[in-house]
């Protein structure tokens, strides 16, 4: 089973982006996602953006992950 986590794009540079994931900034490849812009939320897996996701869905998922971590 694979797990991808939502991240918010904060800076795009060529075919990579800086993304904040749970408060940590990581660099990811964005070759698989078209029309990505700063401020978008993406699903991140193995250092790559898989797809753009809705902000509301991203925030709900992040909250669920925090709750699982806290329990």
**Mean per-residue pLDDT over the chain, rounded:** 94
How many Cα atoms sit within 13 Å of 39 on the Cβ side? 1
Per-residue confidence band for 1, with pLDDT thresholds at 50, 70 and 90: low
Render 30-49 in DSSP notation, one character per residue: -TT-SS--TT-EEEEETTEE
**For residues 6 and 44, is the Cβ–Cβ distance under 8 A?**
yes
- Which of the 8 DSSP states describes residue 15? T
Higher pLDDT, 1 or 15: 15
Return the CATH fold of 5-70: SH3 type barrels. (2.30.30)
Provide mean pLDDT across the span 17-33.
Answer: 95
Reply yes or no on whether the pLDDT at 69 is more than 90: no
CA gap 22, 19 in Å, rounded: 10
């Amino acid at each position: 089973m694979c797990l991808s986590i939502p991240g918010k794009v904060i800076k795009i540079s060529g075919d990579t982006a800086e993304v904040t994931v749970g408060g940590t900034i990581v660099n990811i490849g964005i070759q698989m996602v078209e029309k990505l812009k700063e401020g978008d939320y993406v699903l991140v897996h193995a250092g790559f953006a898989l797809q753009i996701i809705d902000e509301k869905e991203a925030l709900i998922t992040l909250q669920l992950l925090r709750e699982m971590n806290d329990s």
